[in-house]
Amino acid sequence: MSSQETQNVLHHWREAVPEDRLAHLIKDATRSLIRALQFRLADHNVSFGHWAFLRILWEQDGLTQRELSERAGVMEPTTFAAMKAMESLGYIERRHLPGNKKNLHVYLTRTGKALKKHLVPLAEEVNAIGTHGLKESEIKAARKVLLTIIANLAEDEAAMEAEERRLPSTRELYRRTNGGDA
């Protein structure tokens, strides 16, 4: 966000609609945090999309592409494309385990592992910038609020799944609204 865009967002929240929905405020805060991190990651030729997968693999190497998709909260084709790109960059390698030709497992290379010591401090820096001027108790309260929101919405989603409700694909939504094939 440019400086002017940031000022517009702040004006929106502080003056125009200070009581607007929390979801919009969280979205704007998330966008700002992501952009700040993207600037820093770009200095190391790492995209934000790759960052998400690197973080997961730093915690547990050797996951399948499906497991990576689930943990990152993205569709499998997105993960496939990212893994292909990350492999060409030398960050990961994909291989079958002996006796299992079905699943591809993803492993960090030495280069992928080494990125952690350079990139994690950048994320920590962004968090420090984002929380500058807040007391530790305020940060703890914000974490508690956000974790409660996540838990409540996960419970709601489980209830939807129990009712056999599902999210339609983009293609399905298009068909519903346009009365035809995509």
Tokens, residue 159: 């209830």
Inform me whether the pLDDT recorded for 169 exceeds 90. no
Rounded-to-integer distance, Cα 87 and Cα 141, Å: 40
Of the listed ranges 61-65, 110-114, 134-138, 176-180, the one predicted with least confidence: 176-180
Listed in sequence order, the residues at least 6 apart from 92 whose beta carbon sits closer than 8 Å to its beta carbon are 53, 57, 83, 86, 106, 107, 108, 109, 112
Residue with tokens 């940031």: 6
pTM of the full structure: 0.75
Residue 11, pLDDT score = 63
Residue 13, pLDDT score = 58
Long-range Cβ contacts of 157-163 (<8 Å, 24+ apart): none
Instruction: Tell me the pLDDT band of 176, cut-offs 50, 70 and 90.
Output: confident
Task: Give CA angle at 122 (119, 124), nearest 5°.
Answer: 115
Rounded-to-integer distance, Cα 132 and Cα 1, Å: 19
